[in-house]
Every structure is written in structure tokens, then in C-alpha cells.
Structure 1
Amino acid sequence: MKALVLAGGSGTRLRPITHTMAKQLVPVAGEPVLFHGLRALADAGVNEVGMVVGGTRAQIREAVGDGSRFGLRVTYLWQEEPLGLAHAVSIAGDFLGDDEFLMYLGDNLVLGGLRSMVDGYRAERPAARLLLAPVADPRRFGVAEVGDDGRVVGLQEKPAVPRSDLAVVGVYLFGPDIHKAIAEIEPSARGELEITDAIQWLIDRDLRVSADVLTGYWKDTGTVADVLEVNRHLLRSLVGSTEGATHDSEISGPVVIGAGADVTGSTVIGPSVIGPGAVVTGSRIGPFASIGEGCRISGSAIRDSIVMPRSSIAGVRGLESSLIGQDVEISRPTPDTGGHQLVLGDGSRVGLVS
């Protein structure tokens, strides 16, 4: 089976991180969220992927390559503007042909359910099959109304009065009829071709649209809070390993210390990840900390946070619930005047405790 992975979009809710980084490459538990999705696709029996990319295409291509490390063959598809999920399907027409395919939003994390969803689709061969998950506030999502026979009878996009609590997760399975539907629909009020409109077109013509209700974990990593939650969730199943070196340090709980990393005179509380080549001295790390490759951490305390590659943090205590980008430097001013010294770009967010 083919898959269409959407890896474009600007990630405005994750700025300033996404001013310079593709949102799908933000790391959780030590690796980009997109990689977790690609592995899930391979586990579900997908072998050929069309990767829809936009302005960050060079970063995505450098990170993913030809897909062979995931057991996939990846073809890159250029989307000039993000004009809706259905538009992404339309620009992938030559790649998809008349084949059945799975569409996966690359900034989502879905654990469990893809294999059973694919198997259910193959057994039934509907026009479309959706993955749904119950949510506390369905007004924030596309919502599906499901009949007693498991057939989807209607869709609502962020409804004021939802008809169910079943949100449409960022995973879809389609047969070739979806191309007819997309050719017939018009752009929505926001100027995009909505995949929900295309699916509703199928429903209105009495073509079967079925659904699976997810029993595993799902999260759209659209905000800093979402990214940190996913990081915590993945770290809870971490299996500790040590490839780097530790000296005069206390390691407790599941901790991964990457190759070439050095932890000296420090306490590391799991679950946490210290990336390859990172150097940690005189610090307290964790729990739920992901320290990226090549970072330098000294005299600091960091918990429930993600620090991306090559960043340096010195003399900073009480850093928590934070998402730190690549090549960032954070330190106490010298001499220490007791004040805060900040250099922040557009869209930055800082919480200070004084």
C-alpha cells in the first residue's frame, strides 16, 4: 500500500522554533516526530511514501533521505502553497494513480491502530476509512457522526454543537473515488480544499465511509504544550541504555546516554535522554528531559523539557516545561547583577520567576 505523508505547512503555533525548523522535525524523546510516524507506517505494511513538502522541503529531504532507514521508498512532492488536505491529494495524483492509499499528517503522533485500520480497510474495501478518537472538547476538531452499523453518516468541521465526541485523527485510508470527490468540491471560506468536504461528498453519494476508533495514543504536536506532552508519553516507555561515559554521577530510572556523550558530577533522573556527543557537568537533568545531540549543559537543572541539538545552557537552575531550539545559548550574565539579560527574536515566549 502507498502512503501520502503531509510534511508541509508553516507551524505558526510553534514559532519561533518553526521560523527555522520544519514542525515535523521537532524532536520528541530524542528524534523527530515525523520519524515516529514513518516507522508506524512501515509497521502497518506501507512500503511506498509520497512526501508532500513545502518551504521546508530541503530540511525534510535531508532528514528523511530516500526512506530506506525506515524500510520505505520516499518520493518528494512539491506543494507550492498549503491549500488544504484535499489539495495535497490532488497534487499527488500522478504518484497515487488509482491505488489505494493511507494519508498521514506528519506532525501527528499515532501509537497503535494503524495496522488494524489497514487490515480492516483491506477486508471491507470502502471508499474511505477514518481513524477517530474520543475527545473532551470536540468543538476544536473535525467531528464524525457514526451510525449503529459503523458507517460514517456525517462530518462537522469544528462545530459549535457537536453531534458526537469522535474527532477525526490525522490518518485516512482512501480508494480512487476520493479523486472524483476532490475534483467536484469547491474551496472553503478559508480558501482551502477541505478533505472533510471531499469525504462528505462520498457520503452524500451513498459510498461507504467506515471508521476505526483509536484505542492507542494520538496527539497533534501543534503547540509547545502538545510537544512536551508527547515527549513525556514516549519517555514513559523508555528502555535505558548507556553508550557514552559517566563519571561521579548518579543515574536513576530509565536513562539513555548516547554514543560519545559525557556526564560528569551530575544527577540524571529518568526517564530522560542525553543525546550523542552531549556534555553534561555539575547538573541535574530530568525527569522527562530530552537533551539533544552535541549540547553542553553545565551547572544547571532541567526537567520536563526538550533541548535541541548543539545548544548550550550554563548556570541556569529551575528550567522546566521548556522547548529550546537548536544552537541556543542560555547562561547567567557575568558579572551576575541579579537581573535578566535576554536577546529574543520575533514570536518568542519567556516565563520568568523573579
Structure 2
Amino acid sequence: MSELQGAEAVVLVGGKGTRLRPLTLSAPKPMLPTAGVPFLTHLLSRIREVGIRHVVLGTSYKAEVFEEHFGDGADLGLELEYVVEEEPLDTAGAIRNVAHLLREPDVMIFNGDILSGVDLRGVLNTHRTAEADVTLHLVKVNDPRRFGCVPTDEDGRVTAFLEKTENPPTDQINAGCYVFKREVIEAIPAGRPVSVERETFPGLLAGGARLQGHVDTSYWLDLGTPAAFVQGSTDLVRGIAPSAALTEGTGEALIKAGATVHEGAVLRGGSTVGAGCTVAEGAVLDGAVLFDGAVIGEGAVVERSVVGAGALVQAGAVVADAVIGDGAVIGARCELRDGVRVWPGVVLPEAGVRFSADV
């Protein structure tokens, strides 16, 4: 893909990912293994695929992990730079915090925890055709009540930013992907928290700036919860969500190099088996995400769940809609359901007990 002239990208990856604990105790949310690679790899692969080369990562929580893994970005065909946010600055403040490294007239901004199938070139073309100051990707959702809504006029121009309501006037929501003119970023107040939706965008509207909506119904998922994280990973494995980072292809399961899966095990639902994992005879993985080194015993069942690095699910155990922390041990015949989270290193006895609360 040829280089996309006049555009660069900023990815905001500073959040602590508290809703995904205990998974994010050891790694930032964008670095969690998702379909076998850190989630951020999927986003960066799509940015590279459309021809953007220069990407700035706005980091904070466990900031060193990003540069240790991605380095200067050369392995991905990118030029990566990093800016650490020392104090929480909110979204617009975090964007302003990286302004000194920007050099192109158009800057694509991404929330680092959104899995999306939007046509990135299409968003940029909308921005340039409308000669907009800011363009927002707006996605149509079936139930907009859980989100703030963003109505647009007949020309696609944004007219307001509305809080959550039981009777939303539109099904369009802010999808966490923007294009800013660089001078708009430079005008954001520096050195303090600034909300993009409560301060920056309303201020621009009041001042007569053009805020354009790029509206579509593409795949879109916020990976902020364990259930959404599992869904995102399985959708990537099955090819429902787009990525240029899955060199193994798509299907019912993804088995990373170095994993051992018994021929009598059943893998389906877009499951991922990480490097060094062992899946024993008779085990069933259905929509499971196994981090590196996890072990699943004979006849164990793991459904719509995450099993952390080095964790052990012993024979006959059932793990459904749950999160197992790194190094935890789930005893034989135990049953975990309904959003249970097991903290790293916890050992549950071989008692055949059903757990329905965090342990």
C-alpha cells in the first residue's frame, strides 16, 4: 500500500482498563493477547494497511510495555513515537499532549480499545471533501440508549452532542475515531484535563467550526469488559472483525506455535490457544481465549472465557463466562459461571464446588 500523503495517526492507550481486571493487572488493555497478538497490533495493522506511516502512541499506565514490544515500529512498517501522560488529561487533553510530535495537516485519532471495521480512507475522504475542522466516525447501533448520541443534518454536519437518554433522537453514536486538522489540536488547552465531548466539540460547534460525521454500520466493539474482550477475540479469529495481523487465516480456532492440543479435544467458536498451552483429551473450548502457557485438563470445558497466562484448569472443571487470572488453579470438577473472576495465583480446591462470586 502506498503512503497516504498528508495524514498521520495518534492512538490513545493510556487507560488502566479497570473493568478488565484481573487481566490488566499485568498488562495494559491494548496489550492483552487478542486472537493471539496484542490487541494494539490489530489496530496498527489496519492503520498501516491504508498507507499511514507515522503513528504516535499516547501512553500512561504501564507505559514502558508498549515501547518494549513495538520499538520504533519498523517490524510493522511504521514509524512509532511515544508520549507518556504523567497525569490523567482526559481524551482531548491526551490528544493535545502529543501535539509537539505531529507534522501532517490531517491527524487520525483512535481510542486504543475499539475494534472497528470502518473504512479508514473513507473517513479521511469525508473529512477532506467536507473541508471539516474535525470529522467523527459515527456508527449506527441497535440500542443507542447506552451511549451519548451525535445527530447530524442532511449534509452530514454534526449538530449536537447528547448525553445518554431513554429516548435518543438518533441511533448514531461516537465511535472513538476522529480526524482533526492539526491546528485544531494545537488550540486545545495544554497541561490540564480536557474532555473532547464535553468541552472541545461543544466549543468548536459554538464557535462555528465544521464538525462532520462519517456515518456507517460497520463492525464496532468497545473491548472494555471481559465479555466484550472475548467477543472481540473470537470475532477476529472467525473473520467477522477485520485485521491485517492474522497471518494464520481465520476459522473456528487459532492455535499458536508451540501449543499442544490433543486430537480428542474440541475447539470451536473462534477460540485461541496461546503459545505453550496444553489442551488435554476430551477438553472443549468454545469461544475460549487461552493466554500463553495455560493448561486445560481432560474433559474440562471452557466457554466464552479468558484463561490467563500459566493458569491451570484441571480435569472435569467447567469455566463459562468467567475470567481466570494468570497462574490461577481451578480444581478438578469445579464450576465457575456468570462473570466470576479468579484473581492471579488463587488456587481453588478439587472439590467440585460451583462458584458464582469473584475469588
Q: Please name the residue that 1:267 is paired with.
A: 265
Whether the 8 Å CA contact 2:53–2:78 is kept in 1: the answer is yes
Alignment deviations for residues 154-183 of structure 1 (CA, whole Å, 9 cap, x no partner): 112435653322110110100034236523
Gaps of 5+ in 1: 243-252
Match of residue 204, structure 2, among 199, 202, 205: 202
SS of 1:24 mapped into structure 2: helix
Q: Which amino acid aligns with 1:310?
A: G
Q: Which amino acid aligns with 2:355?
A: L
User: What SS is found at the alignment partner of 2:233?
Assistant: helix
After superposing the two structures, state which structure 1 stretch, 127-136 or 233-242, moved more: 233-242
Q: Which one of the candidate residues 168, 173, 181 is aligned to 1:175?
A: 181
As a proportion of its length, which structure holds more strand?
A: 1
Shift of 1:52: 0.7
Out of 250, 254, 257, the residue aligned to residue 256 of structure 1 is 254
Stretch deviating more after TM superposition (27-36 or 100-109) = 27-36
Structure 2 CA distance, aligned partners of 1:177 and 1:158?
30
User: What is the 5 A alignment of 1:174-253?
Assistant: 174-179=180-185, 181-183=187-189, 192-196=193-197, 197-237=199-239
- Is 1:27–1:308's contact at 8 Å kept on the other side of the alignment? no
Alpha-carbon separation, structure 2, partners of 1:316 and 1:63: 36
How far 1:296 moved relative to its partner?
2.0
Query: Structure 2 unaligned runs (5+)?
Result: 1-6, 241-245, 336-340, 346-352
Aligned equivalents of 2:80 and 2:325: distance in 1?
27
**Matched residue SS, 2:57:** strand
Using the TM superposition, give the Cα deviation of residue 344 of structure 1 relative to its aligned residue in structure 2, in angstroms.
Answer: 4.5
Counterpart of 1:249 in structure 2 is: none
Match of 1:245 in 2: none
Q: Would you say the 8 A contact 2:324–2:344 is kept in 1?
A: no
SS of 2:258's equivalent in the other structure is coil
Q: What per-residue deviation string (whole Å, max 9, x for no partner) do you get for residues 90-148 of structure 1?
A: 21121125632011011111123222112322334310110011234434333211001
Detail structure 1 runs of 4+ shifted over 4 Å in the superposition: 238-242, 342-346
Per-residue Cα deviation, 1:288-309 (whole angstroms, up to 9, x for no partner):
2222222222222212222233
Read off the aligned partner of 2:325 and give its amino acid letter: G
* C-alpha distance in 1 between matches for 2:123 and 2:182: 18
In 2 relative to 1, CA 130–266 (structure 1 residues): closer, same or farther, beyond 3 Å?
Answer: same
Percent identity at matched positions? Answer: 29
The residue number in structure 1 matching 2:89 is 83
Contact in 1 for aligned 2:325/2:342 (Cα 8 Å): no
| Native 8 Å contact 1:294 1:309 kept in 2 | yes
Query: Structure 2 length normalisation: TM-score?
Result: 0.81
Which residue identity does 1:194 align to in structure 2?
Answer: S
Alignment of 1:76-115 (within 5 A): 76-97=82-103, 99-115=105-121
Contact 1:33 1:108 in 2 (8 A): no
Aligned-partner SS, 1:182: coil
Contact 1:108 1:220 in 2 (8 A): yes
Cα deviation code 1:27-56 (max 9, x no counterpart) = 222222222111121123221111011131
Change (3 A) 1:181 1:167: farther
Which moves more between the two structures, 2-11 or 24-33? 24-33
Q: What is the aligned partner in structure 1 of residue 349 from structure 2?
A: none
TM-score, with normalisation over the residues of structure 1?
Answer: 0.82
Is the CA contact 2:327–2:344 (under 8 Å) kept in the aligned structure 1? no
User: How far did residue 345 of structure 1 move?
Assistant: 7.0
Q: CA 1:175 to 1:164, structure 2 compared with 1: closer, same or farther past 3 Å?
A: same
Quote the offset at 1:82 in angstroms.
2.1
Following the alignment from structure 2 to structure 1, what is the Cα–Cα distance between the partners of residues 266 and 75?
30
| Structure 2 counterparts to residues 1-354 of structure 1, below 5 A | 1-97=7-103, 99-159=105-165, 162-179=168-185, 181-183=187-189, 192-196=193-197, 197-237=199-239, 254-264=252-262, 266-270=264-268, 271-299=270-298, 300-332=300-332, 344=343, 352=355
Shift, 1:343, TM fit: 7.7
Find the aligned partners of 2:69 and 2:284 in 1 and give their Cα distance: 27
Number of residues paired by the alignment? Answer: 330
Measured in 2, the distance between the counterparts of 1:304 and 1:344 equals 18
Alpha-carbon distance between aligned partners in 2 of 1:318 and 1:329, rounded to the nearest angstrom: 13
RMSD (Å) for aligned C-alpha atoms: 3.1
Q: Structure 2 CA distance, aligned partners of 1:143 and 1:343? A: 36
Helix, strand or coil at the partner of 1:211: strand
Does structure 1 conserve the Cα–Cα contact (< 8 Å) formed by 2:328 and 2:342? Answer: no
Distance 1:292 1:49 in 2: 27
